[in-house]
């Protein structure tokens, strides 16, 4: 009987997620804000990751540039949320890095490698828009999803990850040291 009652909630959550995704992609198709650099070869993303100009209106984690914030010396301060399925509770971690060295607030396993990955990729990877000219293999890597929010070298980021096709699996693998292996990747 519980399964019968949870099914409508699951359908409602999926419907809301699809609506948000549709609106986000529609806004992304309208073009980048004036003055924002175009990134035609950016990795594909299931949702629009905001540019720094758009990010200023979003709630944020404490900024390392704020001297009163915990970890004020960090060049990276991220919140990582990983869900094993759409019904699973998210697992949350903090990644704080000063260069490639984990900070005291870090709770993410394998933090040294994760800090090196963030330093190597930079904020532009996380804020990249999908390249609509790239065809992605239609393979499924698993139900896992993740989000990474916060700041990298003073640039606010908001990125979503999934394992829904070849492009998304490739993006996930690029930050495997942060997100783990996911499903069948």
Comparing 29-43, 102-116, 152-166, the range with the smallest average pLDDT is 29-43
* Residue carrying structure tokens 């399964």: 3
Check if the beta carbon of residue 22 is closer than 8 Å to that of residue 29.
no
Contact 48, 69 (CB under 8 A): no
Please report the pLDDT score of residue 43 as a whole number: 40
Question: Would the pLDDT of 105 be above 90?
Answer: yes
Strand pairing report for 76-83 and 91-98: antiparallel
3-state secondary structure of 134: coil
The pLDDT value given to residue 10 = 52
The counts of H helices and E strands in the chain are 5, 5
Q: pLDDT digits over 143-158, tens only?
A: 999 999 999 999 999 9
What is the rounded distance in angstroms from the CA atom of residue 71 to the CA atom of residue 125? 23
Arithmetic mean of pLDDT, 30-44: 39
CA–CA separation, 9 and 52 (whole Å):
34
Asked if pLDDT for residue 12 goes beyond 80, the answer is no
Question: Does 171 have pLDDT greater than 60?
Answer: yes
Describe the crossing of helices 166-174 and 111-126 by its angle, rounded to 10 degrees.
130
* Strand ranges in the chain using DSSP code E only, listed in sequence order: 76-83, 91-98, 101-102, 145-152, 155-162
Q: What is the mean pLDDT of residues 15-30?
A: 45
Q: Does residue 108 contact residue 149 with C-beta atoms inside 8 Å?
A: no
Is 70 exceeded by the pLDDT of residue 41? no
pLDDT computed for residue 36 by the predictor: 38
CATH number of the domain located at residue range(s) 31-179 in this protein: 3.30.350.10
The residue ranges of every structural domain in the chain are 31-179
Claim: this prediction has a pTM higher than 0.75: no
Query: What is the pLDDT, as a whole number, of residue 7?
Result: 52
């Amino acid at each position: 009987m519980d399964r019968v009652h949870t099914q409508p909630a699951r359908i409602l959550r999926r419907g809301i997620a699809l609506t948000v995704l549709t609106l986000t992609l529609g806004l992304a198709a309208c073009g980048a804000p004036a003055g924002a650099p175009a990134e035609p070869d950016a990795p594909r993303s299931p949702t629009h990751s905001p540019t720094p100009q758009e990010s200023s209106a979003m709630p944020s984690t404490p900024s390392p540039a704020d001297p009163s914030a915990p970890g004020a010396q960090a060049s990276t301060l991220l919140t990582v949320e990983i869900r094993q399925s759409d019904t699973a509770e998210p697992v949350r971690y903090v990644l704080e890095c000063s260069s490639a060295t984990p900070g005291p607030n870090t709770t993410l396993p394998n933090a040294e490698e994760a800090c090196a990955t963030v330093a190597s990729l930079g904020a532009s990877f996380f804020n990249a828009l999908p390249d609509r000219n790239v065809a992605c293999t239609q393979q499924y890597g698993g139900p896992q999803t993740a989000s990474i929010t916060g700041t990298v070298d003073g640039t606010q980021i908001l990125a979503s990850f999934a394992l829904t096709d070849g492009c998304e699996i490739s993006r996930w693998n690029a930050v495997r040291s942060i997100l783990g292996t996911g499903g069948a990747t």
